[in-house]
Amino acid sequence: MAKISYIFTFILLQIYLVSGVKQFLIVDFNNNDNVTEWREQSDTLTKSGMSKAALVLLETGLSRRAVFFTLLNAQPNGGGFAGVETDMQLNLSNYNSIALRVRGQGKNKGYKFILKHKSGKNEDRLEYCHLFEVPFGDYTVVKLPLKQFKPYFKNKLVNQTEPLKLNEITSIGLRMYGSDPSSQKKQSGVSSLEMDWIIALG
Ligand SMILES: *[C@@H]1O[C@H](CO)[C@@H](O)[C@H](O)[C@H]1NC(C)=O
Ligand SMILES: *[C@@H]1O[C@H](CO)[C@@H](O)[C@H](O)[C@H]1NC(C)=O
Ligand SMILES: *[C@@H]1O[C@H](CO)[C@@H](O)[C@H](O)[C@H]1NC(C)=O
């Protein structure tokens, strides 16, 4: 089963990737990677938060992947989020983008990919985010240029006093957001995101 799944992933990666493009498999739920290293990072960290996120493995006779479930109980003003993150030391200085193969269902399509880097103070509060939409329907590869990640502090866009240190990434995360300063979108409700892999592309 693992072998079939491995070949499957390999073929998918080959189909997607033009040969010659530098690639690095960051997370491979199809084969090796577990979800146990991921922890929840939702609005219940604050008193008024009411949202929930979970990352679980979905294994069938033919495939293995992760599912990111979110229950977003947003505040009337759109505040609220449900997410997961995992610590990971990454050097992405030779790469241009991050890509993930996903399929979305449920209420909402708008997600955020989050990178944090090694930083003296407020390390866990300063985050670099890229919003993305997952169309409902079949699996799709979402590509996020690293240059377009924007710095946030407490869900507010901040001026880039400290550019993202691609060579010292300390964590990656996924989030369903109620609202975002860069968008008019307001979201709430139950959604799921099935996920095969996350790769870095050169
Ligand atoms: C994933 O978890 C299973 C069960 O705990 C374990 O046997 C396996 O070695 C883990 N795989 C990795 C890559 O950590
Ligand atoms: C990151 O990768 C670049 C390019 O390969 C290399 O020059 C640099 O030394 C690496 N930095 C760290 C902190 O490993
Ligand atoms: C960011 O910088 C711009 C231009 O320097 C300034 O107009 C804006 O008010 C700043 N925003 C914040 C949140 O500090």
Q: What are the tens digits of pLDDT across the range 104-138?
A: 999 999 999 999 998 766 556 789 999 999 999 99
Taking the C-alpha atoms of residue 71 and residue 84, their distance in angstroms, rounded to an integer, is 12
Q: Give the model's pLDDT for residue 19.
A: 57
- Cα(34) to ligand 1 centroid in Å equals 6
Q: Is 34 in the pocket of ligand 1 (CB under 6 A)?
A: yes
Looking at ligand 1, which residue's alpha carbon is closest to its atom 6? 34
Taking the C-alpha atoms of residue 153 and residue 119, their distance in angstroms, rounded to an integer, is 13
Residue with tokens 């866990």: 124
Q: Is 91 in the pocket of ligand 1 (CB under 6 A)?
A: no
Q: Give the model's pLDDT for residue 18.
A: 54
The arithmetic mean of pLDDT across residues 160-178, rounded, is 92
Return the bridge partners of 101, or none.
141, 197
Looking at ligand 3, which residue's alpha carbon is closest to its atom 3? 159
Query: Over the stretch 134-157, which tens digit does the pLDDT of each residue have?
Result: 999 999 999 999 999 999 988 899
Query: Over the stretch 14-57, which tens digit does the pLDDT of each residue have?
Result: 555 555 789 999 999 999 999 999 999 999 988 889 999 999 99
List domains and CATH numbers for the chain.
2-201 (2.60.120.430)
DSSP 160: -
Residue from 32, 34, 57, 88 whose mutation best tests the ligand 1 pocket (most atoms within 8 A of CB) = 34
Model's pTM, two decimal places? 0.87
